[in-house]
Amino acid sequence: MALLPLLVPVLVLLQQVACGTASSKNLLVLTVATKETEGFKRFQRSAKVFNYDVQVLGLGEEWNGGDESTAAGGGQKVRLLKSALELMPDKENLIVLFTESYDVIFASGPAELLKKFKQAKCRVMFSAETLIYPDRKLDVKYPQVVTGKRYLGSGGFMGYADNLWKLVADWDGRDNDSDQLFYTKAFLDPEKREKLNITLDHRSRVFQNLYGGVDDIVLKFENGKVRARNVVHDTLPVVIHGNGPTKLQLNYLGNYVPRVWTFETGCTVCDEGLRKLSGLKDDAFPLVLIGIFIEQPTPFIPQFFNRLLNLQYPKERIQLFIHNHESLHQSKVDAFLTEHGSKYNTVKVLGPEENAENAEARNIAVDMCRQSPDCEYYFSLDASVVLKNPNTLKSLVEQNKSIIAPLVGLLGKLWSNFWGALSSDGFYARSEDYVDIVQGQRIGVWNVPYISSVYLMKGSTLRSELKERDLYHNDRLDPDMAFCHNVRERGVFMFVTNREDFGHILSLENYQTNHLHNDLWQIFSNPADWKEKYIHENYTAALKGKLVEMPCPDVYWFPVFKDVACDEIVEEMEHFGQWSTGTNSDQRLQGGYENVPTIDIHMNQVGFEREWQKFLLDYIAPVTEARYPGYYTKCLFDLAFVVRYRPDEQPSLMPHHDASTFTINIALNSVGIDFEGGGCRFLRYNCSVKAPRKGWAFLHPGRLTHYHEGLPTTKGTRYIHVSFVDP
């Protein structure tokens, strides 16, 4: 069973009529909470939604009831309940509901609760479970049941005040004794059970314990409302309890507590209010420490820093912590800081020479915020995250959550930076709504057990619930999982929001690092980011025919590459350095031939032929098929190479036909800046193109009609990329 979303954009009012719009005068809700945890606040919100008046016992007291997650305990709750009931031993018409709070939500209102209780015709009703706890030897003493859950659960029960008083009046145990064992023994005493008229809610009409019953529950969506349904007994429980190891499953249901949704803010009136940043002066923005982590070779690092620079948040209110584990990227980090570092409030860098491991670097960054009273937020950002939304940081701050992540994932895949559920051993499990959330079919802010890659944390949370320095270590878990485990153990909720499109995550698989410009090889692994970096901003217009020129008959000229693509291809070739004249026997030609040998380097020499064919198929084929109707190409090629022209080396090319069906000729540098002269003359038409534009491609037929020559380069060095495509 899954962790389901915290919010659902139900654009309707609550089911107030069905659930009752006001708490009954004869109902008192009691709970125990020594601290106002996030679980407690969620309980209070659900109570407010359904108009329950809740009296909290023990708030501010020290908890001495033991660790109920590892051993039986909770006697302190019985003591506190006894003290409260001492004031009402004779109120035989008052019905008291006692429930846990940290792991409980209401699913309906007082009217339905009271109706179902009275239909049971008992004086005391306990929740029921399928598993016996804490003493299995008591199994034989339990009454047999025809259907339903057999064993008592102490996390939720209700009854008339006088009967409950009689039930707890003889409690004299210690605070860390077992409350469940105390109530179990009372129930298993036939005389007391009959005298106090105690029963169990066998069919979960009122109470739903998730421990041992997670698979019994589904969510029922109807007319903009949502309700947890017990499909085993066909009941709609009122009080949902994520007891035992199923507290996370409560988040699954708690995400769907019905709320009033407003169009203006996308927020809920019963949730914590948004922290509005609009209208604030720059110096009034909360101070944020951004922790940047480059933990492994990562493509598109300069683009990552450009997006960081473009975040719509005052830079004087941003502190930077950068951990770069990779020497490969040090020059890019240095370049960013040299040009832009002074714009930020402060900058701290841990470079490869520091030899700081992932977890330790993250602990250092978090502790920087923790130790500074001025640090209101800590924003953890991995270099593999592509934040396309410049308002991401502002949007997360405005959500006013202790920890919240923007939803990002691998493009075209279901992998993302959150988990909807955990398996029994604490690892990944898919929630039933995970796909809907990732694909944007359900929009909201979701309470989840695991986040990674990018998230915002409140500084106040780091200085309170998460004050221990080491958040990122665990014997058997990686840093991300260790962090989430430690956060969950301290009762702090993590959220993920998909209310906006924030961006995506790069695929780091198959990232080659043996080239000068490794990003060029990312066209398969990260095609969208490759396109953004390398493809000309006007290519889409050219694809539609708007910027396609025809300088000579059947010769088409259009933009395809940005300057950075041209520069990196040239630099990659010069870095490789093995320029040579093509020959028929040269293995570089892959079985093809050059009619006129050139000073060139072929794509197969630098291991780029697969990537180049992908480029031709994705970006050249659509233009070719649009310009030559009825022709279709798979962009197969025998020859694809970069040619270098120099006055003192090879300045021109004699007239020739290309060995191709069509040829692509892309200018890789600029006439008048990098070289003079050059160009191409088509002899049949006596037509020349003498001013090739950097990043623009010539597309022309290769055989028969387009006999051509390369015009002399008179100064500097000219580079072109030539592809003989056939068919």
CA distances from 548 to 456, 542, 699 (A): 46, 5, 10
Cα 705 from Cα 703, distance rounded (Å): 6
Torsional sign, CA 226, 230, 235, 238: negative
Catalytic residue among 45, 362, 627, 718: 718
Q: Which residues pair with 664 in a beta bridge?
A: 699, 723
Q: With contact defined as beta carbons under 8 Å apart, do 494 and 403 qualify?
A: yes
Query: Which tokens go with 435?
Result: 């796909």
Contacts of 566 (CB under 8 A, 6+ apart): 666, 667, 668, 669, 694, 695, 719
- CA-only gyration radius of the chain, Å: 34
Q: With contact defined as beta carbons under 8 Å apart, do 693 and 605 qualify?
A: no
Q: Exposure of 398 by Cβ count < 10 A (0-12 exposed, 13-18 middle, 19+ buried)? A: middle
Cα 330 from Cα 601, distance rounded (Å): 29
Query: Which tokens go with 98?
Result: 């006692």
Edge-first strand order for the sheet with 445-448 is 346-350, 318-324, 288-294, 377-382, 454-458, 403-406, 494-497, 445-448
Cα 143 from Cα 189, distance rounded (Å): 11
Query: Which tokens go with 169?
Result: 């009046």
Phi-psi category of residue 666: left, alpha or beta, with phi > 0 → left and psi -120 to 50 → alpha? beta
Q: With contact defined as beta carbons under 8 Å apart, do 456 and 18 qualify?
A: no
* DSSP for residue 144: P
Phi, psi of 222 (to 5 degrees): -160, 125
* Active-site annotation holds for 307: no
Q: Which residues pair with 349 in a beta bridge?
A: 322
Cα 58 from Cα 67, distance rounded (Å): 17
Torsional sign, CA 658, 664, 665, 668: negative
Return the closest-CA partner of residue 561 out of 621, 633, 615.
615
Which residues participate in catalysis according to the annotation? Answer: 718
